[in-house]
Structure 1
Amino acid sequence: MRLVYALKSLILITLLAFSACIEKSTENSAPAISEQSKDILESNINPSDTFQLSERAEDVALAKKVDEIISNSDLADARWGVFVVSLKDGRLIVGRDIDRPFIPASIMKLLTSMVAIDKLGKDFRWQTKLLSTGRIENGVLRGDLILYGQGAPDLDDASIRILVDKLKQLGIRKVQGDIVGDESYFLADNLGDGWLWNEIQWYYGAEASALSINLNQAQIKLNDGRPSFDEFIQAYFDLQTPRSEMPDSIGVKRELCQNRVYVWGTGRNLNVKIAVQNPALWAARILKEEMQRAGIQVSGDIRSVNWRTANRPEIKMANELALIDSKPLSEIVYRMNKHSINLYAELILRTLGKKFGEFVPEDDPKFREVRADDRAGIAVIKQWLSEHEITLHKSEAIHDGSGLSRLNLLTPQTIGRALIAATKIKDSEVFLNSLPIAGKDGTMTNRLHDLSGKLIAKTGNITSVASLAGYLNLKDETLVFVVLSNNVYDSTKANELIDKLVREISLLH
């Protein structure tokens, strides 16, 4: 009974979150800088400034009202942190528990994205390559064909077809060898530190492989009792037909470290997304299938390798046959923040570690020689904060790039100061334009419609956590705000209360 209850809860969580995370095909590129972003960029407030709690009557009244709204709510027993500062004069308008650590959830992506834009640059692109140590003779590649991933977040079936077309242009008609999906570029765990085991089966817990494809997620559908799913997934159905007056009650369970999925219960319709285990092998399979469709024969099998695999291909000795670039970082960050895509954040984190980790010392000597790329990426973020004179408290901790980890702990003030720092970086408009617009797009589509055009902010929601942080444009000043809540029993009510608080803040003056 405990398992069934947990799975029903997970399905409910998935369905609630699905509409907030699905991407819209019309949003493929970042727009030009908005008027609100221009106002933010003109601020002369710095993250290192000392913020004094305002004594203005209207500010004091607002801070008191914020406390009253929380105290009179059904969520008064939860933990609440609220940080509001003016970008006009640096007044600390609301400062509720701003130095206490909170689990931030997905507003952790704010830090990941601002550091990535500043360090990698908006035009940075990832590459995915086709390599081989074999030779080409009379249209035959004698040796394994290696699909080598370097962390591209947006590799998909269409990308694979482009690579296959490039093989055909080389005159390759047959591969005498295996198709190898190589994810060894990252020396890191594919799952984040502190992720819950019962979340990694769902699309938002997809593993961060250096060779990721199709967001490392696959759909399982039932349409009037007829199942459909990718053949890479082994799905087993044990379903009964419900009585006409009964709602569907369906359980879904993907085994840990396997792509075996069980679907059971009573019902005829279902549409869920699950995380694919071993996406590098999935990518190799897709490549082989696309090659065969294009008329390129493959005599061998598919397999995958990672940094732990013995006798894996020597990449430095391989010949490059074809490559494809990802979309630029500006577009990746835009999609990541608009739709809160965890996979993108984790791949960016590992890329930061891979590119800059060697220049950042390791605090813990135990990890000096064995530090993985994800941990190195976290060190890069911490160093960036330090360079902008944002000092983490001893109680604060960063454990992933997406915010899915329950081990992340940040104070409202740290996040608020980081938002100020983001206005000072090169290409800061790329960061600002990636944030969801209230009542208009991304995860803010259905929230705070009355503040559309005035508010841009990143949402955060995991079990027992709700958060919102961003910029609020008033008549004569722009505010940086952070609202964090932990130990909330109802995420819908928590989001409603956060919106109520933000509306109250918007009435200042």
Structure 2
Amino acid sequence: MGRKILLGACVFFIPFFQVVAQEARERYLGLDALLGKDSFFDNHLTGFMLFDLDSQTVQYDKNSHLHFIPASTTKLLTFFGSLLVLGDSTTFLRFIPKGDDVVIWGTGDPSWKYPPLPQPKLEGFLKQYGRVFFSDTNWKDNAFGYGWQWDDYYYSYSAEKSPVPLFGNTVTSTNINNRPHLSPALFQVSVSEKPIRNVQRDWHSNDFYYNPRTYNGMNAKIPFITSQQTFVTLASLDWQKEVIRSNEDLPPDHFVLKGIPTRALFREMLMESDNFIAEQLLLQISDEVFKELNAEKAINYIKKTYLFDLPDEVLWVDGSGLSRHNLVTPRSMVALVEKIYRLLPDEELFALLPTGGRTGTLKFNYHAPVPYIFAKTGTVSNNHSLVGFIRTNGKKVYAFAFMNNNYPYKASVVRREMEKVLLYIRDNF
């Protein structure tokens, strides 16, 4: 009797599994028609992986073992390391009182007078002291990241790194009576005329130029050259306190001034692809682990401690992805976002990431009545990537990495074809 029941069950399940296998095959073939041989994505270097987070199975793979320039999807590496190291709030300053005065060391916190971010409680701290001595002996880095393009120096997305940034390390140019007025006002005396476009800064100095004949009057943000002297001058004016240079080393026993919620940094970095915040986050990781500011040490620490089990070696050199020396495989990117997925609840994570058709860098792409793409974009000339999560009509969530390098057309053309792929996944998986 038992054998008859077992035989009947087998007869029932065999057709069921055949149907499931056939549906999976049809889904795969449909996706392969969009991504495989003779498709649009067969005309340039494309890597793609779709991963089922529930069954832990790869649903589709195209060149996922090859290394690609990740551009701003590099920020997901920075985000992951920050989640594990920094905790719920930043450390704004390290300090030791010296009688009525105080000596401070920076931690890389970028928040002071940086409009997208909440402000640390600095005024109450400063009121306790007379003079402020600023030491940068814990600064073990360079103002620019490895491999950044030198001629990006006057664009806001390439602001310099520093121990205690002020105003996002940028000057704001505002049009008043058809002449640029700079803030902080310290830089206004350095404005002169030159046959250039809009407002630009000299390569080697904090001298600014504009052309009265072609000045377009648009507001602009231009990075200034950072230094210990520039900091103490700006801080003295902004804090209305005497700030003096110091070369004192950070002692083991010192105090910390807490800063702002790290979620505010994460959201701005991921939503708006803020390079400056990404770079400063790496410095904060280094400060937390080593009590010095060194992005390279932070990267090596994260790789050895938390990313040692990725499928392929990650060539990672900066926090933002500005450098073309960064190289990552799609399958390592999928492994990375799976790690992130296990750290945060779905809705909390998806609220930090750009949402297709709704928020951040995806606000004008991947429109749908019900959002289905939650992912980080990455674009530099002739390279575009999208890494994150897709939610299907069946309410399943898949991790994916979609990486395109060395194409000879506009990024909008690539995005349009990518959308066809992602819509197919949404509707059929």
Q: Does 1:250 align with 2:203?
A: no
User: Taking structure 1 as reference, are residues 160 and 409 closer, same or farther at Cα in structure 2, changes over 3 Å only?
Assistant: closer
Alignment partner for residue 178 of structure 2, among 225, 247, 255? 225
Pick closer, same or farther for the CA change 1:223–1:356 going to 2, 3 Å.
same
Q: State the SS of the aligned residue for 1:186.
A: coil
Moved segments of 4+, more than 6 Å: 157-161, 317-320, 426-429
CA contact (8 A) 2:172 2:221 kept: yes
Question: Which secondary structure does the structure 2 equivalent of 1:250 belong to?
Answer: coil
Distance of aligned partners of 1:353 and 1:314 in 2 relative to their CA distance in 1, 3 Å threshold? closer
1:93-129: per-residue Cα shift (whole Å, max 9, x none)? Answer: 33111111100001111121122212333x1321225
User: For residues 426 and 216 of structure 2, what CA distance do their matches in structure 1 show?
Assistant: 46
After TM superposition, give the deviation of residue 92 of structure 1 in Å: 2.2
The answer (yes or no) to whether the contact 1:129–1:147 under 8 Å persists in 2 is: yes
- The aligned counterpart of 1:83 is 49
Show the counterpart of 1:496. 416
Q: CA deviation at 1:161?
A: 9.7
Q: How does 1:118-157 map to 2 (within 5 A)?
A: 118-121=84-87, 123-128=88-93, 133=98, 135-136=99-100, 146-156=103-113
Q: 1:166 to 1:347 in 2, by over 3 A?
A: closer
| Cα offset, 1:290, TM superposition | 3.9
Q: 3-state SS of the aligned residue for 1:278?
A: coil
Contact 1:131 1:148 in 2 (8 A): no
Deviation, 1:223, is 5.1
2:209 equivalent among 241, 262, 268: 262
CA contact (8 A) 1:160 1:290 kept: no
Partner deviation per Cα, 1:5-31 (whole Å, 9 max, x = no partner): xxxxxxxxxxxxxxxxxxxxxxxxxxx
Which residue does the alignment assign to 1:485? 404
Describe the superposition over 1:134-154 as per-residue Cα deviations: whole angstroms up to 9, x where unpaired: x43xxxx6xxx6553211121
**What is the CA deviation profile of residues 421-448 of structure 1, one whole-angstrom value per residue up to 9, with x for unaligned ones?**
2122367865443111111111111111
Corresponding residue for residue 78 of structure 2: 112
Query: How many Å separate the matches in 2 of 1:372 and 1:290?
Result: 24
Give the distance between the partners of 2:411 and 2:305, measured in 1 at CA. 32
The equivalences for 1:70-219 within 5 A come to 70-71=39-40, 77-121=43-87, 123-128=88-93, 133=98, 135-136=99-100, 146-156=103-113, 163-168=122-127, 170=128, 175=131, 180-219=133-172
Q: Given the two structures, how large is their TM-score scaled by the length of structure 1? A: 0.69
1:376 aligned to 2:342? Answer: no
2:261 is equivalent to residue 313 of structure 1: no
Q: How does 1:282-297 map to 2 (within 5 A)?
A: 282-292=230-240
**Whole-angstrom CA distance in 1 between matches of 2:54 and 2:254:** 56
State the match for 1:235 in structure 2.
Answer: 191
1:150–1:183 Cα contact (<8 Å) kept: no
Change (3 A) 1:157 1:375: closer
Give 1:278's match in structure 2, choosing from 206, 226, 245.
226
Is 1:61 paired with 2:20? no
Amino acid at match of 1:80: T
For residue 198 of structure 1, give the secondary structure of its aligned residue in structure 2.
helix
1:447 aligns with 2:365: yes
Partners of 2:221 and 2:97 in 1: CA distance:
34
Moved more, 441-450 or 410-419: 441-450
- When structure 1 is superposed on structure 2, of 252-261 and 92-101 the one drifting more is 252-261
| C-alpha distance in 2 between matches for 1:120 and 1:317 | 19
Instruction: Determine if contact 1:83/1:94 at 8 Å carries over to the other structure.
Output: yes
Q: 1:67 to 1:223 in 2, by over 3 A?
A: farther
Counterpart code for 2:359? D
1:403-424 Cα distance to aligned partner (Å, 9 max, x none): 1111000011100111112122
Contact 1:118 1:427 in 2 (8 A): no
Deviations 1:483-506 (A, max 9, x none): 111123423333333334322332
How big is the shift at 1:228? Answer: 1.2
Unpaired runs of 5+ residues, structure 2, are 1-22
Amino acid at match of 2:225: Q
Query: What's the CA shift string for 1:207-227, capped at 9, x where partnerless?
Result: 221111222122223356222
The 1-side partners of 2:366 and 2:114 are apart by: 37
State the structure with more CA Rg.
Answer: 2
Question: Deviations 1:31-56 (Å, cap 9, x if unpaired)?
Answer: xxxxxxxxxxxxxxxxxxxxxxx962
For 2:122, give the aligned amino acid: L
The 1:450/1:402 distance shift into structure 2, 3 A limit, reads same
Deviation of the 1:342 alpha carbon: 1.2
CA distance in 1, matches of 2:222, 2:370: 33
Taking structure 1 as reference, are residues 157 and 83 closer, same or farther at Cα in structure 2, changes over 3 Å only? closer
**What is the one-letter code of the residue matched to 1:128?**
L
When the two chains are superposed, the root-mean-square deviation of aligned CA atoms in Å is: 3.3
**Distance (Å, rounded) in 2 between the aligned partners of 1:317 and 1:385:** 26
- Relative to structure 1, is the Cα distance of residues 187 and 238 closer, same or farther in structure 2, using a 3 angstrom cutoff? closer
Distance change (3 Å), C-alpha of 1:228 and 1:130? farther
With over 3 angstroms needed to count, the CA separation of the structure-2 counterparts of 1:304 and 1:318, relative to structure 1, is: farther
> In the TM superposition, what whole-angstrom CA distance separates every residue of 1:260-296 from its partner, at most 9, and x where no partner exists?
222236244222211121165454334322454xxx6
Counterpart CA distance in 2 for 1:452 and 1:216 is 39
Identity of aligned residues (%): 21
Describe the SS at the equivalent of 1:502. Answer: helix
C-alpha distance in 1 between matches for 2:307 and 2:126: 47
Structure 1 regions of 5+ residues with no counterpart?
Answer: 1-53, 240-248, 306-311, 359-370
In the alignment of these two chains, the number of paired residues is 399
